[in-house]
Amino acid sequence: MNYVVGVFIMATKALIIGGGIGGLAAALSLHRAGVEVTVCESVSDIQALGVGINVLPHAVRILDGLGLREALERTAIITSTLRFHSKQGQTIWAEPRGLEAGYDYPQYSIHRGQLQGALLDAVRQQLGDDAIRTGHHFERVEQTEAGVAATFVDKRTGAAVGEYEGDVLIGADGIWSQVRAQFYPDEGSPVYSGQMLWRGVTESAPVFDGRSVIMAGSNDLKAVIYPISEESRRAGTSMLNWVAERQLGGSLPLNPADWNRLGNPDDFIPYFADWQFDWLDVPALFTEAERIYEFPMVDRNPLPQWSFGRVTLLGDAAHAMRPNGSNGASQAILDAEAIARCLSDDNDVERALLAYESERLQPTSQLVLDNRETGPERVLEIVAERCPDGFDKIEDVIPHDELQAIADSYKKLARFDRESVNQPK
């Protein structure tokens, strides 16, 4: 945002803490709004970490506006269908997604690292290399009436690496947010659902049309499988991202939410032994992965407040949610667009951050809570309860209208119903 004071043009200076999906999307959005941005990222070398992630059409609309669509479509799968299957592999529900469903924007299934990499390249090109300070682990922010001052250390050594000043500070530092912890010092660890997730990627033959997201099973034992590489699809194979989910109960394991912790195949593959469907051999898919990561299903309780004077929260730092509904990255991108718009609509930074909070806090809190009830995956629970041993005809188990109503209500809640996404700009 540029605003005129006398004859000088003053630009708002924003410090963004965290160069993940939300932080980088915010950097691009704020830059477009005329805000001067510095992104401070804890790690010294941003690598292509994680496995698959979905980006829903409302977030793709924003990424398109940031000029990223071409880069993303070189690597992302343009998702055609979302499919729900029972534990026996039977089809419960299949619905078209993105372009196939008449949206003006696609849904992407993509490697998280490729998404982050595309955002990072765009930030470097559009804002310059200097806009990203890696090796800057946020410690603390102080506020005065005129601005913010944040201190950073090198996480590996603990040595101070600098103090930066700005007009506004945005905490986009993920589920273990240090910015959030400064305002909620007693919050502690994320909330554990009792389920463990094992994640991996396996090269395979295409499943269904090679562009479908598949969810099978129910809360006690579930698999989520989708392709994430357009290069592999063009070569006639499929790079399948998968998540195996098992109810363990108990309390949060030690060292709970490290995205890079390796998992043990014996902890989950035997439980899927009879998941050999005519459309996929699920245990073989898991077994053939080169690397398996383990991550507990966690989230954070909704907060009453995100904005404190000139400081606010964004993405997982504000509203880490369970992955049901595939909304984490998309909601972070929606936050990024909203904060840039609010800061460009109002020269008063504190008022702008309150406007951002009042637009985004309530809908994302509702999503956090709805995802605890498994979001759109609720259909899996209903079918598992009503006919645990499988069914002859799905219509006898759950009427089509009930399935449609569950799918539609989640889209409205997460604000990616077709009417909202296709609204003229």
Binding-site ranges for ligand FAD (CB under 6 A): 17-23, 40-43, 49-51, 53, 112, 137-138, 172-174, 176, 178, 199, 259, 315-317, 323, 328-329, 332
Q: Give the shortest CB-36-to-ligand FAD separation in angstroms.
A: 19
Cβ proximity to ligand FAD, 48 vs 405, nearer residue: 48
Kindly state the smallest distance separating residue 392's Cβ from ligand FAD, in Å. 35
- Identity of the residue, 57 or 328, whose beta carbon is nearer to ligand FAD in the bound complex: 328
Residues 6+ apart with CB under 8 A from 385: none
Rounded to an integer, what distance in angstroms lies between the CA atom of residue 278 and that of residue 300?
38
d(CA 27, CA 119): 9
Q: At closest approach, how far in Å is the CB of 83 from ligand FAD?
A: 19
Q: How far is CA 322 from CA 130, 254, 357, in A?
A: 34, 19, 21
Min CB(23)–ligand FAD separation in Å: 5
336 or 394: CB nearest ligand FAD: 336
- Distance from C-alpha of 162 to C-alpha of 151, rounded to nearest angstrom: 6
Distance CA 154, CA 156 (A): 6
- For strands 13-17 and 36-40, give the pairing: parallel
Contact 115, 74 (CB under 8 A): no
Supply the minimum distance, in Å, between the C-beta of residue 297 and ligand FAD: 11
Q: Could you write out the DSSP letters of every residue in 216-257?
A: EEETTEEEEEEE--HHHHHTT-EEEEEEEEEE--SSPPSSTT
Task: Name the closest residue to ligand FAD (Cβ).
Answer: 20
CB closer to ligand FAD, 122 vs 398 = 122
Taking the least distance from each CB to ligand FAD, the nearer of 148 and 332 is: 332
| CB of 19 or CB of 283, closer to ligand FAD | 19
Minimum gap (Å) between residue 323 Cβ and ligand FAD? 5
Beta-bridge mates of residue 244: 198, 223
